[in-house]
Amino acid sequence: MVWNRKIAYINLSTRKIIRKPVPKTMRQLYLGGRGIDMYLLYNHVKPKIDPLSPENVLFIGAGLLGGIPCLGAGRCDVAAKSPVTGGVGDSNVGGFFGAELRFAGFDHLVVTGKSKKTVYIWVQDGEIEVRDAADLWGKDTVETQTAIRQNHGDEDIKSLVIGVAGENLVRFANVRTGMKNSGGRTGMGCVMGSKNLKAVAARGTMNLEFAKPEKLLDYCKEMNDMIISTRWARAQSRWGTMIIFSNTNTTGLIRTKNFQLNLLEDGQDLEPENIDRYSIGTAGCYGCVVHCRHRYVLKDGPYAPFFDEGPEYTSLGAFGTMVNVKKLETVLAANHLVNKYGLDTLETGGLIAWAMELYEKGIINDKMTGGLKLNWGNEEALFELIHQIAMREGFGNVLANGFRDAIAKIGKGSGYYAIQVKGMSNLHSDERPTPSFALGIATATRGSDHLRSRPAVDMYGLPEEFLQELYGGPVSSDYTSYDGKSRMIWWQERLYAVTDSIGICKFQTVFCAVHAPKWNEFSKLIQLATGMKFSKSQLMQIGERIYTLERMFNLREGFTRKDDKLPERYFKEPTPLGLPIAKGKKIDRKKFEIMLDEYYALHGWSKNGVPTKKALVKLGLDKEPTHMI
């Protein structure tokens, strides 16, 4: 059955491999993917270890519904203790690897220890081998995948790989699969690098069996029709996530020049419509009808020629607005470069934008940058700094350790200018006009993070009766209000935890579209696929369990309420630009703290953000770690 795929424990130090079935209890409590990964993280990673030591453990988990032909259900979750935040490390990646891992017979891989030599893990039809990776080491993320395919003589192999940045232990190195899909955040590529693990490759021809295959197939079609009928999905399937730029840059919700402005003036070249100049068509992940990325070719100009996919909205900020670059071609080229190196686009852009502001303020100078003129929009310096970060050379080596270390090293009040939470960079979104988003990045378990809870539907000014029905309590329809926003975040956290655990794409649930599949649809999909029955409230409780366990992991590592904060600038500097609704906005400190109190209370956590005994008992978490798997 589909829930009965195996978990494999792979010790890279001893080369011992153990295979076990995933017990049904685990499915009932955590579903799969991120949920089971978080259970494993809490149970297998000892407190206070160095994330780069062999004691850290890498978890790779496919979603419970991975493989079904709808809603992008091929996603894979990668987890470990984060070298960026020191807390929960977790990144969810699309593409085709997650589904292929299942066809190869496994849902979860637990990678411990450290290999003496560089290696890759080869998974095929129930078998696992640790193989020599000497010929792969030093290759970029695309070359590595191509070489693995050539070595095995099979073009349909899917691999999760690191680039040179991961080899060089850049803290925010990512894991990548295909041309574009990245497990970008929290430095999972760095953890792979620290284990001398270059790649995990999978190929499988094993059946995934379902409880009700015929009904499931029909319902998958219904789900695809449901998502593609939303305005959001239709627009996204045309221009990808770039379409967000039209709204945010028009309104004034987009970080520009690090955090000095909230929209890019004369930024027309970055508008999504311009991708048509380079696009040869769109591409979808496994089981996805939204196909939100472009396949693009840059034929002319200083960076040509090359082929790549994307760019995500994230890259428009990372190498566009935040560093004051106004040319799409430059963004495409920088996106291509970080992809090859295996760097998180968001963290890289966030750090470079910060460095540019420090340079402008005179906090760092030519001596420190090694002569790099970090002026706004200096493309040459931008590309050079990306190289330096990946290669750990010159000033890039300072940034390669992430915000925490770089702030400590540079000093001189540089921390004030860093737009980060828990050591992880924020997206190029400006949350000052949107208290709900601000609460989300302050409380997210993996640092400043828009993918743990962002209630994008808050932006639509929906009727309050509708919001009450959706969120199960009063929520203001005004996105600049603080009222009810803690409830919104709480609800979205649980939804996204479940979405990541069943292996479905967040864009195919209530992220940007209200009338997208959610609890009841997930419940029916799970039942038709696995035969297991979960009510809406049971699924919500699973979401709560996963999120609370993540919280417990962070608390065990020493995080407190003090870490659920925003950068000081959110309270002090009002937004200078934008439409009347977004201009002159900053976060009210007092209202923010009240919102945080409400948020803890909804979770059943104390004023200090610690889950109460009662809450833990209710979720069955009071005895963790229980070491069931």
Partner 1 sequence: MSEVRCLNCLKRFEVQSNAKEATCPNCKTKYRISWPTPTQAKIRGPA
Partner 2 sequence: MQKILFIDPEKCTGCRICETACSMHHEKVCNPARARIHIAKWETAGLYIPVVCLHCETPICETVCPVRAIKRNEKTGAVIIDYNLCVGCRLCVLYCPFAGAGIDPLTGKVLKCDLCDGDPVCVRFCEPKALQYVKATRANTMKMRKAAEKFSELMQKLLAP
By CB under 8 A, name the binding residues for partner 2. 2, 67-70, 96, 103, 142, 145-146, 155-156, 178-179, 204-210, 213-214, 216-217, 220-221, 224, 228, 280-289, 291, 295, 297, 307, 309
| Shortest Cβ 581–partner 1 spacing (Å) | 5
| Shortest Cβ 288–partner 2 spacing (Å) | 5
The closest alpha carbon to 102, from 74, 70, 135, belongs to 74
In the set 126, 301, 413, 461, which binds partner 1 (CB under 8 A)? Answer: 461
Distance CA 527, CA 532 (A): 5
Distance CA 522, CA 483 (A): 29
Distance CA 601, CA 421 (A): 22
Contact 180, 295 (CB under 8 A): no
Binder of residue 538, out of partner 1, partner 2, none (CB less than 5 to 8 A by kind): none
Q: Taking CB under 8 A as the rule, does residue 238 contact partner 1?
A: yes
Q: Pick between residue 138 and residue 461 the one whose CB is nearest to partner 1.
A: 461
Binder of residue 271, out of partner 1, partner 2, none (CB less than 5 to 8 A by kind): partner 1
Q: Which H or E element spans position 127?
A: strand 127-132
| Shortest Cβ 574–partner 1 spacing (Å) | 17
Q: Pick between residue 279 and residue 397 the one whose CB is nearest to partner 2.
A: 279
Q: Taking CB under 8 A as the rule, does residue 251 contact partner 1?
A: yes
Distance CA 340, CA 182 (A): 11
Following DSSP, what letter does each residue of 109-122 receive, concatenated?
A: EEEES--SS-EEEE
Q: Pick between residue 237 and residue 378 the one whose CB is nearest to partner 2.
A: 237
Binder of residue 220, out of partner 1, partner 2, none (CB less than 5 to 8 A by kind): partner 2
The closest alpha carbon to 291, from 515, 67, 95, belongs to 95
| Shortest Cβ 67–partner 2 spacing (Å) | 5
Q: Taking CB under 8 A as the rule, does residue 249 contact partner 1?
A: yes
Site string for partner 1, 549-588 (x = CB under 8 A): ------------------------------xxx-------
Binder of residue 254, out of partner 2, partner 1, none (CB less than 5 to 8 A by kind): none
- Give the N- to C-terminal CA distance of the chain in Å, as an integer: 19
Distance CA 183, CA 445 (A): 16
Q: Which of residues 364-423 bind partner 1 (CB under 8 A)?
A: none
Contact 121, 10 (CB under 8 A): yes
Q: Pick between residue 290 and residue 424 the one whose CB is nearest to partner 2.
A: 290
Q: Pick between residue 94 and residue 611 the one whose CB is nearest to partner 2.
A: 94
Q: Pick between residue 43 and residue 279 the one whose CB is nearest to partner 2.
A: 279
Beta-bridge partner residues of 130? 121
Contacts of 287 (CB under 8 A, 6+ apart): 67, 68, 69, 70, 71, 72, 73, 74, 99
Q: Classify residue 116 as left (phi > 0), alpha (psi -120 to 50) or beta.
A: alpha
Distance CA 476, CA 472 (A): 13
Sign of the four-CA dihedral 200, 203, 204, 208:
positive
Q: Which of residues 338-357 bind partner 1 (CB under 8 A)?
A: none
Q: Pick between residue 54 and residue 284 the one whose CB is nearest to partner 2.
A: 284
The piece of 242-250, 277-285, 466-474, 595-603 that touches partner 1 (CB under 8 A) is 242-250
Binder of residue 23, out of partner 2, partner 1, none (CB less than 5 to 8 A by kind): none
The piece of 33-41, 184-192, 237-245, 610-618 that touches partner 1 (CB under 8 A) is 237-245
Kindly list the distances between the CA atom of residue 544 and the CA atoms of 35, 152, 400, 495, in Å, as whole numbers in the listed order: 10, 43, 34, 9
| Shortest Cβ 250–partner 1 spacing (Å) | 5
Over 381-392, what HEC string results?
HHHHHHHHHHHC
Q: Which residues contribute to the site for partner 1 (CB under 8 A)?
A: 231, 234-235, 238-239, 243, 246-247, 249-251, 268, 271, 273, 460-461, 579-581
